[in-house]
Structure 1
Amino acid sequence: MTTEHSDQQLARKGRMVSLVIAGTMLIWLGAQWVGKMAGLPGRYALLFDFAAIAALIWALVNIYQIWRARQASKG
């Protein structure tokens, strides 16, 4: 039962990571487009870039944690 529960938690975490990656890209693309159309200065684009980078780093850390947990459960 504990392995099933652990697998479910890892799957849930994986789904969350995938949603964060997809959502980040959609929001980032939208922010770039809106910023260009509204004529916002480049510093706002840089702010959106840094926010997207932060979200993707969070996703990368979580992907590594999922990978390590699966490796630990194998052996």
Structure 2
Amino acid sequence: MAHPDPERERHLARQARLVAFVIAGTMILWMGAQWLGGRLGLEPRYAILADFAAMAAFFWALVVTYQIWRKRQG
């Protein structure tokens, strides 16, 4: 079994931390936008805009997580 490269592992760990922050931050911001939109009585199109932004961030996190998983398989 080959020994993993420490620099490569640090890079993958950094990417994984970034993904975790993006997921947590997106969830907090999305919930805040939904709450604030309801309190201020904003139009539903703004809620949909927040939903699409959150979906884009979650999709990015999913793609990067898959890339990290693939790199660790090799």
| Structure-2-length-normalised TM-score | 0.94
More helix by share: 1
- The separation in 1 between residues aligned to 2:23 and 2:17, in whole angstroms, is 10
- % identical equivalent positions: 56
CA RMSD of aligned residues (A): 0.9
1:55 aligns with 2:57: yes
Show structure 1 runs of 5+ residues with no match: none
Show structure 2 runs of 5+ residues with no match: none
Residue in 1 that maps onto 2:41: 39
- The separation in 1 between residues aligned to 2:52 and 2:5, in whole angstroms, is 37
- The separation in 2 between residues aligned to 1:7 and 1:44, in whole angstroms, is 40
| Structure-1-length-normalised TM-score | 0.93
